[in-house]
Structure 1
Amino acid sequence: MDNEFPPRELVGPTIQKRKKEKSRAVPLSKELLARKNEIARVLGTKVDQLDKQLRSLTDEQRRTIFYKITHDGPVKISGIGLKPLTDRSESITLAVPTGSDLHSFKEKIQAFAADIPKKDRVKHPELARIEDVERGDPKDRLSDELFAKYDDLVKKQYVICEIEILSLLNGRNKQREEIRQILADLRSVFANGIHGTLFEHEEREGVCRAVIRCTGEMFRRLVEEDRWQRRISWFEPKPKFETFQTVRKNFKIQDLETISAPNDQVPIICIVDSGVSSGNPFLEPVTKDEMLKSFLKHSPDNPYDENGHGSGVASLAAYYALDLNKGARNSGKAWIASARILDASNQLEEERLFSKVIEEVVKEFVPLGVRIFNLSVADLAKKWNPDNKRTQPRTSWTARTLDRLSREFDIVFVVSTGNIPLNQIREYINSEVEYPSYLCDSDSRILDPGQAGLALSVGSIAPSTLISQTADTAIALAFEPSPFTRSGPGIKEETKPDLVEFGGNLLRSADPLWVQSNLATNVVMASHQLSPAIAYDYGTSFAAPRVANKLAIVLNDLTDMGPANVSAPLLKAFLINSAGYRGDLNHLQEHLDRKRWLDVLGNGWPDAARATECDDYSVILFHQGRLGADQVAFFEIPVPAQMIDSTAKKRITVTVVHDPEVQKWGLENYFGISLKWRMFRGDVDQEKIIDGMSTAEEGNDESETVDIPNELKYEHKVNRRSRGTVQHDWCEWTQHREEFSNNHYTLAIASYKKWQRKVEPTKIGVVVRIEDLGGTVMVYNEVRTQLDILIEQRAKV
């Protein structure tokens, strides 16, 4: 950061209550209207049969069944005598009857059939999207991975997995009591370890997540027996993480200059991984023994790395890159804390619950001043691919935990997207699904918990095409997506990864086809040993800590600059606002679905220097604060009229980040508040903007316009960029007219309440960069002067 040109704080916004439009019934398509009576007849017949079956059961029998509803698009099942059993999805809902019959369901179907359409609208239009209703199969509660192996699992000596225990009772006390009873019943049938063991468990709002180990026969009973059908709502495998394999090169640490420690004031990054070996010459200067801790129950006094993954990650978080050239200086930019959660085989201890361990880590290190946590481990068994789920898409318990902790402690998690295995890449190419197209395949989706809504998810790009000792060729060109990087989107179909960093490249041979790594295309990092001191590997695991390193640099700059208590949303907004795309973006867009390239490259490669750096021709404006539900914040953005003097491109880059409450289970919209922002030129009457933004409701990607002229045309459509907690976009123009700056530009940020219950305000971080790319207009001084005038005007009011 240039101290002569520091970022400038925006004048506080004007806040208005957003006017809500009356809800309007959604019209049915002509095709569905034509089939309305047939849909009602078929659906009514199925529900009538289920109703008769339900009436014939005893109360005890009714408490053991659930239904599977298949639908085309989201549906609400309230008011029809059913209650969701698991997370709702776009296509399938598992639900339980709330009474002794389905009379309410039948009544709605009859009303739907009898209603005469008016302007293509009918009563209960969601019924038209229901394709089937049937009694659920016990195995519908299995994840895809367990379902595929079920016949083999029930024959095994023992099975270890995670389960979700559910209480459907009303009232917190009743729910907790029922969960306690279910846990007691589980311990009873496990018979003190003879048939199984209940390990760690974590309770939250009527749901309990637990780790169990049991015999194959007991696993079958828990899945198929009536008494467990509604008590255990979900089964999925334990997390499984990638191991660390390295190739070491002959290297002499004594050939380097002194490796220097960071100063005492720089931020601390906590590496949540396999531990850190502080005896390594690169790691010793950036670690302190009291900041190295083990969360292993079997090795609580051993925080040190036994396989190399955590040490490699830590070195990149501290230095960004290691310079091995003779006489090179390596200077740490961050202190490293370490939370060892993985054992010598790079796996979580079998009795431990991943989410609970992470919460223990956060509560241990936040009081020590840690704001940035790097989690470069991804669950190989869990691809975030809701379109491909057999039953329910899972808003992951672990990802949800990261989001909850991020908001509660005002911290930033940096997570990796995970890697596509080499054998899978070979299969793609053998099947003539070439790079980069296969990166968008459903089997190449982001690994859990990379989809976390409040975490920064990081994918990988290739640093170069340099190859050592082989005639094979690199798959990716420099700055293109690494051949192994996984793609989004995230929980709310938002852009994931958020950012990309250098994580390596892969090679391919022509005849025979082979895909492999190479010493020169891998990332150099510290090993977990004194000698050899370095290791080489590739992966998004090693891209993520480089983003953590840049976050620490930005946090240090902002702390020096002086805004009190830099919030996590503002910290993320500064770094993401600096991001851009390197290499030939047009080439990539030609080979990827134009709507999907963001799911591979995210918002681009971040530049820590640019994040806080202004000059004569550019200025960064920022704001941090809170925004309540159904409010609109209006910011005045000074854009100099002198822009008319420049014939070069002008650019405004806007990043808005917020940290809404997240659902504790899965029965509501994931975020309690969503945001949407727009920017308008200075030749628009501000009262029109206020009226328009106050009434503008959310829509889909095709309904983008609000009837206000002279809105700036940004790169992405407004609803596309508004899906998640990170909303980043830019606008470029060449010709600037004097009337554009008649008044200040207006940045309007609207919030939308998504839950029926009370929603807490969300913290927001706003960063706006204004620049004359031709270097003609003295943007910084002009904007600074206009901000000073604004401050004086506000003071007089």
Structure 2
Amino acid sequence: MTANYQHLNISKAPLQNDRRTRRVNMPRIRRGDLRQHGQMLLNQLQTLRPMLTQVPGSADDGRYILKLNYSGTMNFSALIHHGVEFVSQENKQVCVVFSDEQGLATFAEHLSSLGLGNTELTYKQILEALDGIEGWSAEDRKSWALRRYGFPVAERFKLDVELWPIEVAHHPKRIDLYTRFEHWLQEQDISRQDKVNLDSLLMYRVEVSLPQAEHLLAHRDVRFIDLPPSSGISYQQINRDINTLPARLSSPAENATRICILDSGINTNHPLLSAAIAESASFVPDQDAFDEQGHGTAVASIALYGDVEACNQSNFWQPQLWLYNGKVLNEQAEFNAETIEATLAAAVAYFTDLGCRIFNLSLGNANAPYDGKHIRGIAYLLDTLSRQYNVLFVVSAGNFAGSDEPPVPQSSWRDEYPDYLLHEASVIIDPAPALNVLTVGSIARHNATHDAQRRPEDIQHLCPATENQPSPFTRHGPSIKGAFKPDVMAYGGSVASNVRQGQWHAHMRGLGVLSCHHQFQGATLFKELSGTSFAAPYITHLAGHLLNEYPDMSASMLRAMLVNHASVPQAMTQAFPQAMRESYKNAHTTRNREIEREVTGYGIIDEDALYRSSEYVVVMRCEEQIENNAHQFFELPFPASFLRSQRSTREIRVTLAYSPAVRTTRMDYTATRISFRLVKGRSLDEVQASFNHQTQSETETRSDDVQTNRVVSAQQRERGTVQSSVWTSRQRNPDEKWFIVVTRQDRDWGEAFSSEQEPYALVVTATDRDNAQAQLYTQIQAQIREQERARARIG
């Protein structure tokens, strides 16, 4: 049996460089006739001004909203010089600003002066960049769901109303904004149900009539109106006699990891769960924490045991994690009348006080597919809470059940798989786009239904996906700026079509994942389900066991460790035909992006070396902090035997994770960027020079070395807050030295929201499986000790 060891710790080198700056000359928008351009914009502003005064909310404080369309880049902080105040960047070429009468007069005066030879305007390039001036319209305020479905057909109905999040939560301007709005709601006899006030999110749940809803669509301070979140689940049962279970299960160790299931509740009396239940709490008014629907119980059983099917086959049940039950969905497993963001914030605060470090959220808002623009709603909340509490959220990517408008698939799930997996109708839904969480998609484990197993001679049910391929219902990314989402995949089941009843008759019996039944009695201990909801808790299970082994790990380290052990298997890649992969990679809008990454992210987690290293596979980890505009250096302790010139496969994996502050008013979203490069050099001094601000004119910039054998480029991975790549080689040079360079750069607006020292987690895995005599762990451990002694001598 192969010996296993605790993962090793590595340290950064005792030096730090100022970040090497990049010289970028932003292209200036040139207008043929500046005078004519200024007059065109002035006419638009003068036409708009009378309408602005009629917008509800404007009369309260004499301020107005303008939507500025622009080309190229925009200096948002300098807009104030032209009489307007930046509020939000709404997409790549649109920003929204506030102004008052005096500001509008200044804006009009500057536009009228544009192009006059005797007038010199400060920041004239801003006016040159403007393409047009509009108001924020009712159509701009409609969400995807509202545009698609319209308002509910009812005398009164609920809406989620998001206001412009000016300043931060408790700033006097913010308080004045929401005080005026709440007074207006009272005047309009609009019933306020709930409210969420965070730095970058100000949202109300209201109950309205149709005329009141139309009035809201015109209100100056309203940024966005959405239908309340929608969720739904379905399942079928599988039987097992309760008397065959072990007589009594032992509880987890007292100091075992505490994981929280935020869902529809848990049936805490289930014989396979009761020993691990720590505490339950309901955040749904007038309802206890019991699971009426069964969704939460199913999720909890997978989070506790991982592969319930394997446990059932062996009849081996050993709880090693504590389950905390937070009911945030009602008895129909739907979001309640209160704003789900407020409910989740209260639940997370409650359970973090009880020591929970990992939270599973197998829920999604089908009314909020990611539109490629702002991250908002639940996703923004989770990104904020993960940073605030240093907790890991594991969320599901969401399920795709087909689309009528447009029809997806058009005729057959099986024939059109996997094409529809990349259709715009099957994009990830809130909260899956969140960056500081682990988002989980689903892969298939089985491909034969119960009927197909009993009657293999009959053609009745056909499954689009086979083992380890994306489930037919899993949703695709990417998230903002092209960040990989989902991050990883896990078994979530599959569905098949009855070929004699048409494409819409989905059948899952025999194709799902096994979980506990909330209404257990006699032989109904288990049930079978399919969905990304049941892939996410498997990752929660892995994270919980990892925290059992290494209780000091931060949430960022947990994410880094899990992603570091993920890869895209050949079966998953082959789900997408070669021609389809090449076409996607070469297309203008998706250039250099791999189609399988959009659906599977970093892939499936290999558990072999997740918890322990061996002499063949060595995991090294480090938690550090870095200041803005700085480089930090790690000299990797690779022995000569690993870098030998003899031909054999060796592998280096590097993963970095961090949890930045975020803002919904910026398309950049994250306040800071931390990234890494894997480089080689003769010495640390040589590498340092390549990343030194003071010597940048004498040396060329450095990206990753050996790019031809790398699976994810630096440009692709650094779009996310968990970043990973793998380098595979057959021959190396024993005299080579390998280094990781970590860099931090705050965005121009982000320094105020970031910490002076931002934490991050780094994981490196060296693999040498072809070497039968490998003593890689022993040799790397010796190298680390030598590095420590050398630093002590210098110190």
Please report the TM-score for the alignment, with normalisation by the length of structure 2.
Answer: 0.87
Residue 519 of structure 2 corresponds to: 529
Contact 2:166 2:174 in 1 (8 A): no
Contact 1:276 1:528 in 2 (8 A): yes
Amino acid at match of 2:180: I
Q: How far has the Cα of 1:129 moved from its partner?
A: 6.3
Query: What does 1:725-744 align with in structure 2 at a 5 Å threshold?
Result: 725-740=721-736, 744=737
Distance 2:374 2:256 in 1: 38
Distance 1:235 1:326 in 2: 49
Residue 202 of structure 2 corresponds to: 208
Query: What does 1:779-790 align with in structure 2 at a 5 Å threshold?
Result: 779-790=776-787
Residue 551 of structure 1 corresponds to: 543
Query: Which digits, 9 at most, give the CA deviation of each residue in 1:204-240, with x for residues without a partner?
Result: 348531111122222222223xxx32x2222111111
Distance 2:313 2:613 in 1: 34
Distance 2:694 2:439 in 1: 30
- What's the secondary structure of 1:514's corresponding residue? coil
Query: How large is the RMSD of aligned CA atoms in angstroms?
Result: 3.2
Contact 1:416 1:459 in 2 (8 A): yes
Q: How far has the Cα of 1:131 moved from its partner?
A: 4.2
- What's the secondary structure of 1:202's corresponding residue? strand
Change (3 A) 1:245 1:739: same
Residue 37 of structure 1 corresponds to: 32
Choose from 681, 701, 709 the match for 1:706.
701
Q: How far has the Cα of 1:104 moved from its partner?
A: 4.7
Change (3 A) 1:508 1:207: closer
Deviates more, 1:76-85 or 1:635-644: 76-85
Distance 2:770 2:125 in 1: 55
Choose from 343, 363, 383 the match for 1:357.
343
Query: What does 1:121-270 align with in structure 2 at a 5 Å threshold?
Result: 130-150=130-150, 156-166=154-164, 173-190=171-188, 195-205=189-199, 208-224=202-218, 228-229=219-220, 231-242=221-232, 244-258=233-247, 259-270=249-260
Contact 1:721 1:728 in 2 (8 A): yes
Could you list the runs of 5+ residues in structure 2 that have no partner in the other structure? 453-459, 586-592
- What's the secondary structure of 2:416's corresponding residue? coil
Distance 2:569 2:667 in 1: 39
Q: How far has the Cα of 1:735 moved from its partner?
A: 0.8
Residue 94 of structure 1 corresponds to: 96
Change (3 A) 1:257 1:429: farther
- What's the secondary structure of 2:484's corresponding residue? coil
Distance 1:762 1:303 in 2: 38
Residue 272 of structure 1 corresponds to: 262
Distance 1:709 1:167 in 2: 39
Change (3 A) 1:114 1:463: farther
Query: Which digits, 9 at most, give the CA deviation of each residue in 1:310-363, with x for residues without a partner?
Result: 00000000011224756622222322111001111112221x111111111111
Amino acid at match of 1:445: V
Choose from 372, 397, 411 the match for 1:430.
411
Query: Which digits, 9 at most, give the CA deviation of each residue in 1:3-36, with x for residues without a partner?
Result: 75221110233342424537542236xxx76xx3
Q: How far has the Cα of 1:667 moved from its partner?
A: 4.0
Deviates more, 1:367-376 or 1:467-476: 467-476
- Note if 1:502 corresponds to 2:501: no
Contact 1:18 1:750 in 2 (8 A): no
Contact 1:689 1:708 in 2 (8 A): no
Q: How far has the Cα of 1:377 moved from its partner?
A: 0.4
Distance 2:48 2:408 in 1: 48
- What's the secondary structure of 1:44's corresponding residue? helix
Query: What does 1:108-119 align with in structure 2 at a 5 Å threshold?
Result: none
Residue 16 of structure 2 corresponds to: 16
Residue 601 of structure 1 corresponds to: 600
Change (3 A) 1:443 1:101: same
Distance 1:686 1:353 in 2: 53
Residue 581 of structure 1 corresponds to: 568
Change (3 A) 1:177 1:573: closer
Contact 2:402 2:409 in 1 (8 A): no
Distance 1:403 1:696 in 2: 36
- Note if 1:455 corresponds to 2:437: yes
Change (3 A) 1:775 1:126: farther
Deviates more, 1:174-183 or 1:474-483: 174-183
Q: How far has the Cα of 1:111 moved from its partner?
A: 6.4
- Note if 1:539 corresponds to 2:528: no
Distance 2:407 2:190 in 1: 40
- What percent of counterpart residues are identical? 21
Change (3 A) 1:343 1:114: farther
Q: How far has the Cα of 1:130 moved from its partner?
A: 4.8
Contact 1:47 1:102 in 2 (8 A): no
Contact 1:70 1:92 in 2 (8 A): yes
Choose from 284, 295, 316 the match for 2:283.
295
Residue 420 of structure 1 corresponds to: 400
Residue 406 of structure 1 corresponds to: 386
Amino acid at match of 1:732: T
- Note if 1:493 corresponds to 2:488: no
Change (3 A) 1:144 1:2: same
Q: How far has the Cα of 1:249 moved from its partner?
A: 2.9
Change (3 A) 1:523 1:585: closer
Change (3 A) 1:206 1:172: farther
Query: Which digits, 9 at most, give the CA deviation of each residue in 1:284-328, with x for residues without a partner?
Result: 22213xx111111122xx111000100000000001122475662
Distance 1:237 1:131 in 2: 32
Residue 468 of structure 1 corresponds to: 450
Q: How many residues align?
A: 747
Change (3 A) 1:265 1:2: farther
Q: How far has the Cα of 1:135 moved from its partner?
A: 3.4
Residue 83 of structure 1 corresponds to: 85
Q: How far has the Cα of 1:630 moved from its partner?
A: 1.3
- What's the secondary structure of 2:556's corresponding residue? helix
Distance 1:491 1:631 in 2: 25
Distance 1:603 1:489 in 2: 12
Amino acid at match of 2:497: R
Contact 1:240 1:380 in 2 (8 A): yes
Contact 2:681 2:687 in 1 (8 A): no
Amino acid at match of 2:691: M
Change (3 A) 1:779 1:691: same
Distance 1:586 1:365 in 2: 39
Residue 639 of structure 2 corresponds to: 640
Contact 2:169 2:197 in 1 (8 A): no
Distance 2:784 2:418 in 1: 46
Contact 1:54 1:101 in 2 (8 A): no
Please report the TM-score for the alignment, with normalisation by the length of structure 1.
Answer: 0.86
Residue 556 of structure 2 corresponds to: 569
Amino acid at match of 1:211: R
Query: Which digits, 9 at most, give the CA deviation of each residue in 1:409-456, with x for residues without a partner?
Result: 110000001000145697314289821121111111111011111011
Residue 723 of structure 1 corresponds to: 719
Change (3 A) 1:767 1:109: farther
Residue 700 of structure 1 corresponds to: none
Contact 2:617 2:765 in 1 (8 A): yes
Contact 1:519 1:536 in 2 (8 A): yes
Query: Which digits, 9 at most, give the CA deviation of each residue in 1:189-210, with x for residues without a partner?
Result: 25xxxx4311221223485311
Distance 2:47 2:343 in 1: 45
Choose from 738, 742, 745 the match for 1:749.
742
Residue 333 of structure 1 corresponds to: 320
